[in-house]
Amino acid sequence: MTETLKTKPRVLSGIQPSGNLTIGNYLGALKQWVEVQQEYDCFYCVVDLHAITTPQDPAELRQKSRESAAIYIASGIDPEISTIFVQSQIPAHSELAWMLTCMAPLGWLQRMTQFKDKATKQAQDSIGAGLLNYPALMAADILLYHADLVPVGDDQRQHLEFTRDLAQRFNHLYGETFTLPQVMTPKAGARVMGLDNPTAKMSKSEDAENHAVFLLDDLSRARKKFMRAVTDSHREIRFSDHPDRAGINNLLTIYQAITNESTLDIETGFADKGYGDLKKAVAESVADTLAPLQKKYFELMDEAGYLDSVLKLGREKAAAIANDTLKLAQDRMGFLPPS
Ligand code: ATP
Ligand code: LTN
């Protein structure tokens, strides 16, 4: 199997081009992606097939798919080291997803928190079956590359468990085929909460004005969103799991994820400060991260042909591996090979 051809352990991860990427996507996913780049053979995917599990405007989906790939690079993914590609351009993802869908127990799919959350946000009649089958497609993404490690935010842990369970089921039924992947989440920033409602995960497809800070937000706008963040009527600036303190905890966590300072150092640093000072400090730390990212992003988007050439090369590298694995899985399942 392709497994034996690995020169380094592999990483695979993806983000849906279902809107503008947020600091939640950056701290939960992208930042880790950059950090593992040297040590692992990394595959970073723009998961447009996942994006269509909720309604998308075609022109916007195309635009967001390019933007997402450019943001990967602007965040520090080096296309010379890592492979960046678009999921729908490699049919093996859809093909393996179908095979896995057929062996995914309905009960497992119905238990997925993301499905339950997203399904309750839509009218029953408008929920596509893809929303339920979503984890089987995600499993296909990961298993096609024999990924050892999958860097994601906390909300994706359950999908990783599902992927491992499904891979094990396949291996048990048809013989050793897939590698069981490990999940990797960051120490700080694995679950960034909405600035307008710190009890809900920050999400790129939430409409409210002060909910999310987007990676391409104008910096003064981003700062304003932090200054308006919902907090509480207490005074002390401390990390806390208490639901009443969710707003302050979220700001501290974002600050920690960006600065990498210890909990003690941060709490000591803010000991005699007020909420306004904390908001300002977080806003500045985020702005300092976004400024170079945005500069790089706009340079990339201006460079005619560059992004397309990265995606073409990425597609070729990814397809070679994915097609091999698909063939193996088809053979194991008993498909008649083309003569
Ligand atoms: P959508 O709102 O369209 O469902 P999303 O903003 O939740 O999207 P995804 O594309 O589902 O983003 O997630 C991409 C990656 O970013 C995943 O690894 C996910 O765990 C991570 N991520 C998303 N939101 C957050 C968040 N608020 N905090 C930390 N990580 C996050
Ligand atoms: N389901 C993920 C996005 C995703 C993904 C993947 C992440 C699709 N395929 C493979 C890691 C590996 C989400 O964040 N909503």
Please tell me the predicted confidence (pLDDT) of residue 310. 98
**Rounded distance between C-alpha atoms, residue 29 and residue 307, angstroms:** 21
Residues 200, 204: Cα–Cα separation, whole Å: 12
Of all ligands present, the nearest one to the C-alpha of 47 is 2
Query: What pLDDT does 3 receive?
Result: 52
DSSP-assigned letter for residue 303: S
What structural domains and CATH numbers belong to the chain? 2-188+303-333 (3.40.50.620), 219-298 (1.10.240.10)
Strand partners, 183: 150
Closest CA to 25 of 93, 75, 78: 75
**Is the minimum distance from the CB of 194 to ligand 1 under 6 angstroms?**
no
pLDDT computed for residue 122 by the predictor: 82
User: What dihedral angle (degrees, nearest 10) is formed by the CA atoms of 256, 261, 266, 268?
Assistant: 170
Which ligand is in closest contact with the Cα of 157?
A: 1
Distance from the CA of 209 to the center of ligand 1, in angstroms?
18
Ligand 1 pocket member 53 (CB < 6 A): no
pLDDT at 4: 52
Ligand 1 mean position to 24 CA, how many Å?
6
DSSP 204: T
Dihedrals phi, psi of 193, to nearest 5 degrees: -100, 160
User: What is the per-residue DSSP string for 212-273?
Assistant: --BTTS-HHHHHHHHHT----S---------GGGHHHHHHHHHHHHHH---HHHHHHHTTT-
Q: What is the C-alpha separation between 83 and 103, in angstroms, rounded?
A: 29
Q: What is the pTM of this model?
A: 0.96
d(CA 208, ligand 2 centre) in Å: 24
Residues catalogued as catalytic: 118, 201, 204
Per-residue pLDDT at 114: 94
Mutate to test the pocket of ligand 2, among 11, 30, 45, 134 (most ligand atoms within 8 A of CB): 45
Ligand 2 neighbourhood includes 156 CB (under 6 angstroms) = yes
Contact 250, 197 (CB under 8 A): no
Does ligand 1 lie within 6 Å of residue 87's CB atom? no
Q: How far apart are CA 329 and CA 324, in angstroms?
A: 9
Torsion, Cα 195 199 202 205, to 10 degrees, reads -110
CA of 192 to the centre of ligand 1 (A): 9
| Residue reference for tokens 């592999």 | 10
160 Cβ closer than 6 Å to some ligand 1 atom = no
Q: What is the pLDDT along the chain (339 residues), one digit of tens a residue?
A: 555 578 899 999 999 999 999 999 999 999 999 999 999 999 999 999 999 999 999 999 999 999 999 999 999 999 999 999 999 999 999 999 999 999 999 999 999 999 999 898 888 888 999 999 999 999 999 999 999 999 999 999 999 999 999 999 999 999 999 999 999 999 999 999 999 999 999 999 888 999 999 999 999 999 999 999 999 999 899 999 999 999 999 999 999 999 999 999 999 999 999 999 999 999 999 999 999 999 999 999 999 899 999 999 999 999 999 999 999 999 999 999 998
Which three-class secondary structure state does DSSP give residue 7? coil
Ligand nearest to the CA of 182: 2
| Ligand 1 pocket check for 28: Cβ under 6 Å | yes
